Amino acid sequence: MKDHILEIKDLHIQFNTDEGVVQALNGIDITLERGKTLGLVGETGAGKTTTALSILRLVPRPPGEVVRGSIILDGIPIMEQSEYEMEKIRGKTVSMIFQDPMTALNPVIKVGEQIAEAISIHQKLSKEKSLAKAREVLELVGIPGNRMQEYPHQFSGGMKQRVIIAIALSCSPKLLIADEPTTALDVTIQAQVLELMKELKQKFHMAMVMISHDLGVVAEVCDDVAIMYAGKIVEQGSLEDVFLRTKHPYTEGLFNSIPNIDDRKAELIPIRGLMSDPYNLPSGCPFFDRCDYAMDICRTEKPVKHSFSDTHFTECHLYTAQPEFSLKSKKTKE
């Protein structure tokens, strides 16, 4: 039997705002094995960050509201914990790296002290021992220990992101959530930070959820991939399933809109239109207006899950009537 660090079932989250109700997550199911990395991919507004914050139980309430569903993290039902318990779980069992290293560090506290603080809170060590451990962790992410005394503004963007990674890893979490960790960095630094994350993940046998809109980043570090659209996972599978045996028209659209290194002359085909208004999701498939394969049924009926193997599934009407349907046979350009 597989050993799961994370199991999310039928998670529905909405935001109750003055303008109306935003249906942010509309039935998310995720399972992640220990030591594996899941890539969570989709456009802005698809629900990736809300999914991540819900694992840490950091969705602001109000306006956020968990309508139904469950999250089991390392065997712990997250929704049933007190805030006191959640504070212990955050950092020790699960840590998160945010997109922008500039805002994640306190500008007036030396970086060594910021790492040591995370250690002393979760490991109940003395100040001296926390600082010694902070130095070890800083060196682990490739920053010389003598830079402990410096302030964040003395570090470059890439180095700041290394400090954030050091803080996230300082208590050896079992699951690391990285929300677009390299988006704010330039390309060469991005590659270094991704390489570092891969090394550390293997060294600590840590599971990871990597949120990204960049399929290149996902291909580089992930074992499994979940494609999100309008608060749903529309396709999920191993990296090979999703990249080589693509089933959902939205996933295909994402691949068609990025350059192909094997065919540099191939024209890029962006996905037309915009994501559905989250205040007013359509009654049928939310991708209907943008889909080259749309059928009448897609306008009125929500697609249900169709499995191709134990691990690979999609939510699309195409496979209900024709389980053998192949997207490639109808790849079109508007």
Binding site for ligand SF4 (CB under 6 A): 249, 285, 287-288, 291, 293-295, 298, 303, 316-318
Cis peptide before 62 (omega within 30 of 0): yes
| Minimal distance, residue 9 CB to ligand SF4, in Å | 23
Taking the CA atoms of residue 220, residue 221, residue 224 and residue 229 in that order, the dihedral angle to the nearest 10 degrees is: -70
Between residues 127 and 299, which has the closer beta carbon with respect to ligand SF4? 299
Residue pair 168/161 in contact by the 8 Å Cβ criterion: no
Of residues 131 and 316, the one with the C-beta less far from ligand SF4:
316
Helices 187-204 and 157-169: crossing angle, nearest 10°? 20
Residue (155 or 319) nearer to ligand SF4, CB:
319
The answer to whether 66 and 11 have CB atoms below 8 angstroms apart is yes
Q: C-beta of 16: minimal distance to ligand SF4 in Å?
A: 28
Residue 281: CB minimum distance to ligand SF4, A: 13
**Based on CB atoms, which residue is closest to ligand SF4, 204 or 293?**
293
Q: How far is the C-alpha of 78 from the C-alpha of 72, rounded, in Å?
A: 6
The sign of the torsion formed by the CA atoms of 100, 118, 48, 59 equals negative
- Residue 176 or 316 having the CB closest to ligand SF4: 316
Buried b (16+ CB within 10 A) or exposed e, 271-306: beeebbebeebbebbbbbebbbbbeeebeeebbeeb
Distance CA 111, CA 273 (A): 44
The minimum distance between CB 293 and ligand SF4, in angstroms, equals 4
**CA 251: distance to chain centroid?**
16
Q: How far is the CB of 253 from ligand SF4 (least distance, A)?
A: 9
User: Which one, 142 or 282, has the nearer CB to ligand SF4?
Assistant: 282
Taking the complex as a whole, the smallest distance from the CB of residue 241 to ligand SF4 amounts, in Å, to 17
Residues 74 and 5: beta-carbon distance below 8 Å: yes
| Structural contact between residues 333 and 267, judged by C-beta atoms closer than 8 angstroms | yes
Task: Please identify, using beta-carbon distances, which residue of 145 and 282 lies nearer to ligand SF4.
Answer: 282
| Pairing assessment for the beta strands 175-179 and 207-212 based on DSSP bridges | parallel
- Give ∠ CA 162-168-169 in degrees, rounded to 5: 90
The least distance separating ligand SF4 from the CB of residue 275, rounded to whole angstroms, comes to: 13
8 or 316: CB nearest ligand SF4 = 316
Residue whose CB is less far from ligand SF4, 121 or 295:
295
Q: How far is the CB of 219 from ligand SF4 (least distance, A)?
A: 23
CB of 210 to ligand SF4, least distance (A): 24
CA distance readout (Å), 184 to 2, 47, 102, 103, 151: 35, 20, 9, 11, 20
φ, ψ of residue 20 to 5 degrees: the values are 140, -170
